[in-house]
Structure 1
Amino acid sequence: MLNTRTMSMIAVALITGQLLVRGWLAATGDFYWDDLVLIARASSAPILSWEFLGHAHDGHFMPAAFLVAGVTTWLAPLNWLLPAATLVVLQLIASVCVWRMIRTVAPRARAGAIVALAFYLFSPMTVPAFAWWSAALNTLPMQAAMAWIVADAVTLVRGEVDDSRRRMLWIRSTVVFLVALAFFEKSLFILPTVLVVAVLAAGADRRAVGRALRSARELWVSMTALTVVWAAVYFATVGLGDGRHSVAQTARLVWGSVNQAIVPSLVGGPWEWDRWTPSPPTGFAATWMIVAGWAVLVAVVGWACLRRRGGLPIVVFGLVYAVAAQIPIMWNRSSPETALVLAQHMRYLPDTALVLTIVIALLAAAEPRGRAGDHRATHRAGRGDPDSPRPDPGRPDAARELLAPAAAALVIVSAVVSLVSFSASWRDNPTGDYLDTAVVALRENADETMLDQSVPLEILQPVVYPDNQISRIFGRVEPRPRFGAGTERLLVLDTAGDAVPGGVTRRRLIFEGAGDCGRPEVDGPTRLRLDGPLFRWPWTVAIGYCATRDGEIEISLDEGEAVRVPVRAGLGAVYVRLDGAGDAVTVRPLTPGLRMHTGAGRVGEAVEARFAG
């Protein structure tokens, strides 16, 4: 039999091992996709403003996550070391909270408690969301909060606290709930989860609901009030959503999440991860792992129902959560453009892993069926009485007690194989190299003026515009060039992040002016005709000129704001970033006495000069 000291040592060893593995995963990772969106917003808005903290990001309302991202970007812009450290620290907090929860829910369990902890620490369901910084800022605080509040709620329901400690418990849990909501709106799931766990811990009979509601009534009232208020704030900020959704595709995505992700994770799978940049890694479980996972699930459910009192409602709770928690997410993601492999990314499953951990702990605490011995002593043991003995286990029971940790050890080994495979796929990410190279290039050209441009498509795609613009992503890098609306020397970042000479693609041509350098035709507002119309877009305009003196001009498209740029006396060229549409470019000298002749020009995209044609 394991004693308390031995269990604590094993728990510390398991948590330390997890942190070492996760630390390696974090250290070998880098920024990816939404991470850059958070950085772009932190670089273009005050980090304590509601414009930044209250931004609705892809259906998420997460002011605390934005705050952490903002402070991190302010302290070390585009330096992966600090985000990696936040991942490890948040994981440590979550893991410690989970162990505290397990010991509270199942205080007399031994092997079962260790199995529950090991399942949480090494489950592949928690890995993808950990490695992705922006996802981890959502889900790790939720995991820590759910575990913490479950422990406090079970303590309240068992009624083993005085009034002073009771008040401290429900107030503390309410504050923790608020913090979790500030990181991730999915933390709204915490209230129903904790309520069900409290009922199950109270006995899962007809009277258990009443006992659970009465024993922790202050907690339920405060969390319900907070849920209502937060839900109202969420919908007021984010809205009800739009887009085309499909019930049929939602069902397919949910089934894929269950069959291709949750079930194989029960045996430490999948072992194969692959990705197609810029998509995140996708897990591909072998057929035998899916079959083995279903076999394990059926065996555990059968064992729980046949060998544990109250086992049926406990496993039903876990199964319902595993399915129901996926429905809102998959509904929101269901559209004709959504590939079904989204369900195999597994980044939406960390809270499911935690709930299954709670299920294991509840089963470990449940009374055995048909076991000889003092029923009342066993009942007190299940309620956490430290002085009540367990029935003396015989050799067959002791062997079975060792079987669970042995099986868990095999699953841990399998899970580590999965993590190594995931890490190899996760490292196939061009973002880190691009950012590192670009930061150096920008610092080397700090005296230049650069026009804004999009980062490469494999880094961020135009759907996140304007957060895919270099002026936003590199906005807090110092020193760096000034990002302006016009420049005489066009520099662009190539796909590797190096600063190279730029050119403008030929979307439309600008016709040469009617005069010449001896007889400049532009001495007031002048329309320079294009060879065709432009739709509204951020265009780059390239115009050659000769000017009578140094000065400043104003240039605009027909449907767009005017931009001021400097010109020099004599021959020159100017490159201007304009947002607008129309079939002409208007030039207006602002400096008195300035006259210009304009040569042929182009309107298009700023690209490397070798691609301009």
Structure 2
Amino acid sequence: MLNARMMSMIAVALIAGQLIIRGWLVATGNFYWDDLVLIARASSNPILSWEYLGHSHDGHFMPAAFLLAGVATWLAPVNWALPALTLIVLQAIASVAVWRMIRVIAPAARAGALVALAFYLFSPMTVPAFAWWASGLNTLPMQAALAWIVADAVGLARGDIDPERRRAVWIRSTVVFVVALAFFEKSLFILPIAFVAAVLASGAGRTALTATLRAGRELWSSLAVVTALWVVVYFVTADPFAGNHSVGQSARLVWRSVNHAIVPSLVGGPWEWDRWTPGPPTGFPATWMIVAGWLVLAAVTWWAVSRRRGAVPIIAFAALYAVAAQIPVMWNRSSPETAVALAQHMRYLPDTALVFAIAIALLAGARSTTAPAPERRHSAEEKSPAVLLVPVVAALAMVSAVVSLVSFSASWRDNPTGDYLKTAVATLHDNAEATLLDQSVPLEILQPVVYPDNQISRIFGRVDPRPEFGTSTDRLLVLDTAGNAMPGGVTQRRLVGAGLGNCARPEVSGPTRLALDGPLFPWPWTVALSYCATRDGEVEMKLDGGQAMRVTVRLGLGSIYVRLDGGGDAISIRPVTAGLRLHTGAGRVGEAVEARFVGG
């Protein structure tokens, strides 16, 4: 029979084991996609400005997550060590909060409480969101807050909290709730989860509902007010309905999430993770894992309904949340182009895993239908085969979950971002005296859909020392796909014809339009232009619809590379320095790439 001290030791060992495994996972990982978007915004905005903190990121309102990302970027720009440490610390806080919650929900339970904890700690449903920094900044604070508030709500509902401490408890939980919302708007689910958990922990029926409302009236009132205010703030600052959506696609995504992600995770699956860069790893559970998951779910449901009082609403609560929580997420991702495999990324499921842990704790703490008295219940449980069977099954599921995590880690490491960033930072240090034109990072790192946050000037904006990111240079350097500095050239999207004059008789003495051999659509273009100048000075260049840029030219023959936004069928140019005249030679308008791709 487990005593309290032994339970605590096992719980500490489980949490420590989780953190060691998760530490290895993040130590072998690196930045990915949205992580660089957060870094880019933190590098191009004051981190305490509302423009940065209040930015709607892909429909998310997450000022606290932005703040944490901004501080990490300010302290250690493009350095994975600090974000990795952040994830471990947040996970430790969440894991301890979950164990506290389980002990409040099921104070007399022993093996069942440890099973609930182990399920949360090692469930594959919590892994992908943890490994991805941007996602972990959202979900880990929500998990910690959910566990903390559920524990307080259950304590209030059961009358376990002294009247003198009630005010401090509900104020504390309200503050925790606000903090969680500041990290992730999905934390709005905390209120209904906490209320239902408190009702179920108090017993079934209308009496429990009324008693829970009365016992925690201050908590429910304060959380409801915060929820209402936050919903208003969220819809003012974010745009969750942007894009195309489909009811049919949403339904397919929700079903795929349940059948191919949640259900196999009950037996520690999937064991196979594949990745197509730049997408995240996708889990592919074997058919036997899906079948086994459904069988485990059916067996647990049968056992709970036949052996535990009030099991039906507990099972219904967990099942309803597992489905309902996926609907808004999948609706937001349900464009016609979305593949159903998106649901198998599993990064939207950490809160579902925690709700399942709550349900397990509630079932463990519920009274037996065959031994209602506490002393008879413990005696019956000591003699029951389940006392031996449950830990064995839980241990096998944990081993299976570790296999899944190792497979996920191998897929997660198949990511070129870390090597690119490391090489690029070293390159920038070595070329700190140069001037670089802005350029996009490689497509396998970030794609143009996130422009301008895919530009090197934004991602590496806080790196020091580094070159100046300018709009013009007479020596074009670019970063190659590995992050090394290479001589640059300009692709031939459009050609610029040579001027009609020559070096002896320069034709550009005032505003002039240099005709292109075809029109350009509005875009950030790079112009390569040769010239002959009568003196040192500045000229102004622009494309239609874009901003004019000042460019330095030197006496005699030279060439310039200029970054211009805009479009049209000509480049406008005019000397700014008095007495400066130019003859322009042939040029190109296109993208800045390695010179070897354009023949120099």
Structure-to-structure mapping, 1:109-258, within 5 angstroms: 109-258=109-258
The within-5 A match list for 1:511-522 is 511-522=497-508
Matched, 1:452 2:438: yes
Q: Do structure 1's residue 443 and structure 2's residue 413 form an aligned pair?
A: no
The answer for the alignment partner of 1:330 in structure 2 is 330
1:260-275 matches, cutoff 5 A: 260-275=260-275
User: By how many angstroms is 1:159 displaced?
Assistant: 1.0
- Choose from 502, 510, 518 the match for 1:532: 518
1:413 matched to 2:399: yes
TM-fit CA distance, 1:99: 0.2
The alignment status of 1:585 with 2:571, answered yes or no, reads yes
CA positional deviation for 1:239: 2.8
Task: State how 1:267-286 maps to structure 2 within 5 Å.
Answer: 267-286=267-286
In 2, Cα distance between equivalents of 1:240 and 1:252: 20
Q: Structure 1 residues 71 and 395, CA, compared in 2 at 3 Å: closer, same or farther?
A: closer
Pair 1:394–1:245, CA change in 2 (3 A): closer
Kindly tell me: are residues 205 and 544 of structure 1, through their superposed partners in 2, closer, same or farther at Cα, counting changes over 3 Å? same
Distance 2:266 2:160 in 1: 35
Could you say which residue in structure 2 is the equivalent of 1:386?
A: none
Query: Does the C-alpha gap of structure 1 residues 395 and 31 become closer, same or farther in structure 2, counting only changes over 3 Å?
Result: closer
1:478 is aligned, of 464, 467, 480, to 464
Partner of 2:291: 291
Percent identity between the aligned chains? 73
Structure 1, unmatched stretches of 5+, are: 379-388
Find the counterpart in structure 1 of residue 26 from structure 2: 26
Structure 1 residue 240 displacement after superposition:
4.5
C-alpha contact (below 8 Å) 1:201/1:362 kept by paired residues: yes
1:50-74 Cα offsets, whole Å, 9 max, x none, are 0000000001000000000000000
1:206, CA displacement in angstroms? 1.9
2:551 to 559, 565, 584: 565
The offset of 1:397, in angstroms, is 3.0
Q: Deviations over 1:102-133 (max 9, x none)?
A: 00000000000000000000000000000000
Is 1:597 the equivalent of 2:583? yes
Letter in structure 2 aligned against 1:318: A
Whole-Å separation in 1 of the counterparts to 2:281 and 2:379: 46
Map Cα deviations across residues 163-219 of structure 1 (whole Å, 9 max, x no partner).
Answer: 221111100000000000000000000000001001101102121110000000000
CA distance in 1, matches of 2:435, 2:377: 79
| 1:358 and 2:358 correspond | yes
**C-alpha distance in 1, partners of 2:443/2:518?**
27
Could you tell which deviates more after superposition, 225-234 or 400-409? 400-409
Deviation, structure 1 residue 160: 2.4
CA contact (8 A) 1:310 1:366 kept: yes
Equivalent residue, structure 2, for 1:542: 528
Matched, 1:428 2:420: no
Equivalent-residue separation in structure 1 for 2:210 and 2:492 (angstroms): 74
Q: Which digits, 9 at most, give the CA deviation of each residue in 1:415-466, with x for residues without a partner?
A: 0000000000000000000000000111111101110000000000000000
Question: SS state of the match for residue 436, structure 1?
Answer: helix
Does structure 1 retain, via aligned residues, the 8 Å contact 2:60–2:240? no
Please say if 1:467 is aligned against 2:463: no
| Amino acid in the other structure paired with 1:78 | V
Q: CA deviation at 1:390?
A: 5.3
Provide closer, same or farther for how the CA distance between residues 392 and 447 of structure 1 changes in structure 2, counting only shifts above 3 A.
closer
Partner of residue 385, structure 1: none
* Deviation of the 1:586 alpha carbon: 1.0
Distance 1:397 1:577 in 2: 78
**Residue matched to 1:499:** 485
Q: Distance in 2 between matches of 1:390 and 1:97?
A: 31
Q: Deviations over 1:238-277 (max 9, x none)?
A: 1352221111110000000000000000000000000000
Letter in 2 for 1:301: T
Q: Which amino acid in 1 is paired with 2:506?
A: P
Contact 2:240/2:332 (<8 A) preserved:
no
| Structure-2 residue corresponding to 1:393 | 379
Which 5+ residue runs of structure 2 have no aligned equivalent?
A: none
* Structure 1 residue 370, shift from structure 2 partner: 2.1
Q: Do the aligned partners of 2:438 and 2:455 also contact (CA within 8 Å) in 1?
A: yes
TM-score by length of 2: 0.99
**Residue type of the alignment partner of 2:354:** L
In the aligned structure 1, how far is the partner of 2:408 from the partner of 2:180?
Answer: 27
Q: What is the root-mean-square deviation in Å for CA atoms of aligned residues?
A: 0.9
Letter in 2 for 1:52: Y
Matching residue's letter, 1:113: A
CA deviations 1:391-434 (Å, max 9, x no partner) are 45258734321211111000000000000000000000000000
Partner amino acid, structure 2, of 1:482: E
- 2:13 is aligned with 1:13: yes
**SS of residue matched to 2:315:** helix
Contact 1:111/1:402 (CA < 8 Å) preserved in 2? Answer: no
Contact 2:37 2:454 in 1 (8 A): yes
The normalised TM-score by structure 1 is 0.97
C-alpha distance in 1 between matches for 2:494 and 2:380:
86
1: CA distance between counterparts of 2:124 and 2:107? 26
Contact 2:523 2:567 survives alignment (8 Å): yes
Q: Which amino acid aligns with 1:445?
A: N
Matched residue count: 599
Supply the distance in 2 between the matched residues of 1:410 and 1:189 (Cα, whole angstroms). 31
Q: Distance in 2 between matches of 1:610 and 1:411?
A: 54
Instruction: Return the letter of the residue paired with 1:593.
Output: G
From 383, 390, 399, the equivalent of 1:404 is 390
On the 8 A contact 1:454/1:469 being kept in 2, the answer is yes
Q: Give the SS at the match of 2:544.
A: strand
Q: Is the 1:264–1:292 Cα contact (8 Å) retained in structure 2? A: yes
State the one-letter code of the partner of 2:443: L
Matched, 1:343 2:347: no
Provide the C-alpha distance between the structure 2 equivalents of 1:238 and 1:557, rounded to a whole number of angstroms.
Answer: 33
Mapped partners of 1:244, 1:395: distance in 2: 54
- Contact 1:129/1:135, CA 8 A, preserved across alignment: yes
Paired with 2:30 and 2:376, the residues of 1 have a C-alpha distance of 49
Would the alpha carbon gap of residues 510 and 104 (structure 1) be closer, same or farther in structure 2, given more than 3 Å must change? same
Distance 2:380 2:277 in 1: 56
> Which residue pairs with 1:382 in the alignment?
none
Deviation (angstroms), 1:87: 0.6
CA contact (8 A) 1:64 1:183 kept: yes
In the other structure, the counterpart of 1:510 is 496
Once residues 160 and 528 of structure 1 are traced to their aligned partners in structure 2, the CA distance between those partners, rounded to angstroms, is: 81
Does the residue aligned with 2:386 lie in a helix, a strand or coil?
helix
Shift in CA distance, 225/124, structure 1 to aligned 2, threshold 3 Å:
same
Give 3-state SS (helix, strand or coil) of 2:244's partner: coil
Aligned to 1:108: 108
- Match of residue 560, structure 2, among 574, 578, 585: 574
Identify the residue that residue 314 of structure 2 maps to in structure 1. Answer: 314
Equivalent residue, structure 2, for 1:40 = 40
